[in-house]
Amino acid sequence: MKILICASIPVASVKEAAKLAEKAVKQKADLIEFRLDYFKGSSLDVKKLVETGEIRKIATNRLKSEGGKYAGKEEDRIKILIKAAEEGFELIDLELKTRNIKEVVKTVKNAGAKPLISFHNLKETPSEDILKKIYEREVEAEAEICKIVTKAKSILDNVKIFNLLKACRKPLVCFAMGRLGVPSRVLSPIFGGAFTYACVDQKFKAAPGQFTIQEMRKIYDLMGLI
């Protein structure tokens, strides 16, 4: 079992993003997620982001309703993601609620990228039955990797996450956010999660409960997993 860590980079300039990407590689991240929703207009140069080191890259342009910064037109948001696919990003994060999701998935695949279809519940962790149905909808939408992220309101919400991970065959990223969700954020890869997320530095934390790459690696090292 190899535990994979994806470094999330939520900054608003290509120069700063490149610096953080370089640090992420040095800290032994396995993937990098560039949060394109943090960029504004002409400050975004997708091609330059692709050229930042030999590492797998995810393009994310997260909607405000799912915890992101993007507040523009949906059509423009999708165009940015398709451009990222065309320029060489390996994975494109597409929200399950994306309009005409199957058409967008097809376009992304034709451009040579893999769709990571995501769902976020920022208020709670639904029942195991609902989580399974969300996963099935992502599979039906032809995700290469599925992603389900929730908010933990009880320590027992982590058990729901672990049970889902054990039951699913398709690659799945799944954990709960917040202090109570820390067990699933850290342990999800042990239960079969495709990878988990971390930040390069706490100043650039992209979500509640997120650890740094170095903190995550230290935890896994103490557990004898890396």
Catalytic residue IDs: 120, 147
Rounded Cα distance between 67 and 205, Å, is 13
Q: How are beta strands 5-9 and 145-151 bridged, if at all?
A: unpaired
Which token pair is 91? Answer: 């994975």
Q: Can you give the length of the chain in residues?
A: 226
Question: Quick one: CA dihedral 151, 90, 169, 218, positive or negative?
Answer: negative
CB atoms within 10 A of CB 129: 9
In 3D, which of 62, 12, 61 has the Cα closest to residue 38? 12
